[in-house]
Amino acid sequence: MRFDILTIFPDFFYSPLREGIIRRAMAAGQVEIVVRNIRDFTTDRHNMTDDRPFGGGEGMVMKPEPLSLAIIAARNDNPGARVVLLSPQGCVFTQKRAAGFVAAGGLILVCGRYEGIDQRLIDRFVDQEISIGDYILTGGELASLVLVDAVTRLVPGVLGCGDSAACDTFSRGLLKHPQYTRPREFEGEAVPDVLLSGDHDAIRDWRLVASVRRTLSRRPGLLVGAGFDEREIKILQREGLWPEVEKAVNGGADE
């Protein structure tokens, strides 16, 4: 999996890409990340990447010429990659979209700045606009790091445990169950006995119930995409949770 990140602040990425799972994935050759300075593709002596908007208004707009040249260069080195603009106007980034990007095999991430990017560049060169949430950042750099991190951990072999990604929150439409580790008691609260029982079936059932309870409490709308088999339905019926789940699935619960 290869990422090309196009930015006017390449030093922004120096530390984040040298830590944790991303660093290990790069060292193992599982992902390749190239940061390109958009200013390297300017043609004026001031290396200008922005200008005033036609029609007036606040702020500046990123120029199409240097960005187009940067995208073309990235496409030459990363053929077949999807060009993604990080933008508050894009589709909201989800776990499902992260998995889809892994299948794409390569991404060119355009980090917007200022009041936006010339629309002609977007129309001609961008395959998809992605937002990481309904709020405004000073630029697309932080958003691109979020996307790189979320996608990288889904690349086969990157995580140490093969089931880690499959059990993540959002992978199924359920928030993940509570987790516990040593010590067995902390601040007067003990780890649930079932987790110490060694009974794997009981632990699995407890985690399902705990996960559903947490999802009902915090994000009931997610249950629409969860899907439950016959055994799970019986467990939730036994715990008295199934009516609430059905209500959420049928649209009776708000996010």
* Rg of the chain taking only CA atoms, in angstroms: 23
Q: What is the distance between the alpha carbons of residues 253 and 219, in angstroms, rounded to a whole number? A: 9
Quote the longest CA-to-CA distance of the chain.
72
Find the catalytic residue in 50, 65, 77, 115: 115
Residue 130 sits at the vertex; the CA angle it makes with 149 and 99, to the nearest 5 degrees, is 50
Residues in the chain: 255
Residues 6+ away with beta carbon under 8 Å from 172 = 225, 226, 227
Q: What is the distance between the alpha carbons of residues 87 and 132, in angstroms, rounded to a whole number? A: 8
Q: Where are the beta strands (DSSP E) in 68-178?
A: 82-92, 106-111, 128-131
Q: What is the distance between the alpha carbons of residues 198 and 182, in angstroms, rounded to a whole number? A: 16
To the query of whether residue 134 is one of the catalytic residues in this protein, the response is: no
Find the catalytic residue in 82, 88, 178, 213: 88
Find the catalytic residue in 36, 153, 172, 207: 153
To the query of whether residue 153 is one of the catalytic residues in this protein, the response is: yes
Find the catalytic residue in 50, 129, 168, 204: 168
Q: For residue 243, with 0-12 CB atoms within 10 Å meaning exposed, 13-18 middle and 19 or more buried, which class applies?
A: exposed
Structure tokens at 114: 């200022």
φ/ψ of 16, rounded to 5, equals -55, -35
Would you name the residues annotated as active-site residues? 88, 115, 153, 168
